[in-house]
Amino acid sequence: MPRSSAKGSIVPRPFHAPALLLTAALLALRAAAAPVVSPETVAVQLREAALAGHNIAYSWLAELTTRVGPRPAGSANEQAAAEWAAARLKALGFENVHIETFPITAWVRGSEHGELLVPSHQPLAVAALGESPPTPAAGIEGDVAIFATLADLQAAPAGSLSGRIAFVAARMVRTQDGAGYGPVVAARIDGPQAAARAGASAFMLRSVGTDSHRLPHTGTTGYTDGRVPLPAFALSAPDADQLERIAAFGQTPRVRLTSSASYVRGAHSQNVIADVRGSGKPEEFVLLGAHLDSWDLGTGALDDGAGTAIIVAAAKLIRDLPHKPRRTVRVVLFGSEEIAQPTPPGHAAGGFSYAENHRAELPRHVLTGESDLGADRIYSLALPAAAGKEPFAATALRVLGPLGILAEHEPPRDPGTDVGPTAEAGVPAFVLYQDANRYFDIHHSADDTLDKVERTPLDQNVAAWAALAWLAADSEVNFRGASR
């Protein structure tokens, strides 16, 4: 059982002088008393320290998004972010800090412009979709053919849209769990192909997002035979409304779209790796993931600077414990999550590269999870099925319960893009589900900036990640299913 005198003993290095004095006093107390502290007590102490703001998440995030800003995959900024992160992780006392590079084809946004020509000259707020090809320099001009859904566009006869620009107007639904994303993101992925098959000269969609600002949401789109077949654009929600209203007034909107986007063959991206080496079985890993690249329009504060800040801050709290956990806690800051490379299909390059490079270690990866849904609060925990048979689950939920975190009754369906290849190789995964109500207002738009991050839920995230990672790393649970 915990002793009250030990309560403050694992308070991490704080940032303010009064707290420093407090810590020094408590460390002295700990040295004198040296109480035996249970793993659950340590988890509670990690939780409370994080909740009290004694964690580096916000300062990490502020520095990353300010000094580096946008970090598109394969860019100089992404590389600078990786170098900055590696240097910071070393300075924070992480071990085995290194960068693993891998080749990608980078996509670079050029100048881009959208304009209504009929019923009058009106600027349109557009963003080229990631990896979509440029238009001719004079742009592409055409009447707009409006489809309510991707399925309607896919049903258009071949050649029926010749000389026209296809537009899918489907709206994303706001939900806590982000379930509205899937039904509409399909149009972003498969829309250009469907539009090309119908003979259209370009593709547009209503931004995959839940806000109503003149800020389009970009994102990657799908390849057909190794290329994105058409120039493709997201329209902001109010601009999409405008096209629909023009049609409702009985007019056919006519638009001009330009983009000078380009590709950089032979670019590279990189993963940043850092360990808190375990004290008992350091060859076993609890892998925490998030991605360092971002879209280019904003500064990648929510997507996914926040995730990197949360897992680094959580691991740093564990790093600063007087006693390290038995297993190694590994942090991986993935590169090139946002760009879906055509090979292998469906895999982001960073996650795939990690699974490739560390294939021999994967059987000793005991658990993995990633943080990539912004900075709002966590409301539930999904553990691998095997964890339900262990006291581990009950302990974890006791510790996370005061954070407002419930148990999911199903194991994770999709552990995330970055750790996906690792999970597919058999590594058990958990998910800490975050409230996504606000996330898709911001996601992939120019509005993804630091001011959207609130400190209280950010600290709650760090608290949950630190406590859970500690409990898993200090345990001997086999999350694959056989107790030992």
Give the residues lining the site for a second copy (CB under 8 A). Answer: 62-63, 66-70, 76-77, 80, 111, 116, 119-123, 125, 212-215, 237-238, 241-242, 245-246, 249, 251, 296-299, 445-447, 449-452
CA distances from 199 to 50, 231, 481 (A): 55, 13, 52
Rounded least distance, CB 77 to a second copy, Å? 6
CA 231 – CA 370 distance, rounded (Å): 32
State the minimum distance, in angstroms, from the CB of residue 121 to a second copy.
7
Burial of 451 (0-12, 13-18, 19+ CB in 10 A): exposed
Between 63 and 190, CB nearer to a second copy: 63
**Residue closer to a second copy (CB basis): 62 or 185:** 62
State which residue, 123 or 182, has the beta carbon closest to a second copy: 123
Q: Which is nearer to a second copy, 177 or 241 (CB)?
A: 241
| Residue number, 237 or 272, with CB nearest to a second copy | 237
Q: Do residues 106 and 270 make contact, with C-beta atoms less than 8 angstroms apart?
A: no
- Cα angle vertex 243, ends 241, 249, to 5°? 100
| Inter-axis angle of helices 39-51 and 306-319, nearest 10 | 130
CB contact at 8 A, 188 and 338: no
Taking the complex as a whole, how short is the minimal distance between the CB of residue 68 and a second copy, in angstroms? Answer: 5
Least gap, CB of 83 to a second copy (angstroms): 12
Q: Other CB atoms closer than 10 Å to residue 117's CB: what's the count?
A: 14
- Residue closer to a second copy, measured from CB, 78 or 370: 78
CB of 21 to a second copy, least distance (A): 26
Q: What are phi and psi of 217, to 5 degrees?
A: -110, 115
Beta carbon of residue 73, minimum distance to a second copy (angstroms, whole number): 15
Task: Note whether 255 and 142 are within 8 A (CB).
Answer: yes
Determine contact, residues 54/458, Cβ cutoff 8 Å: no
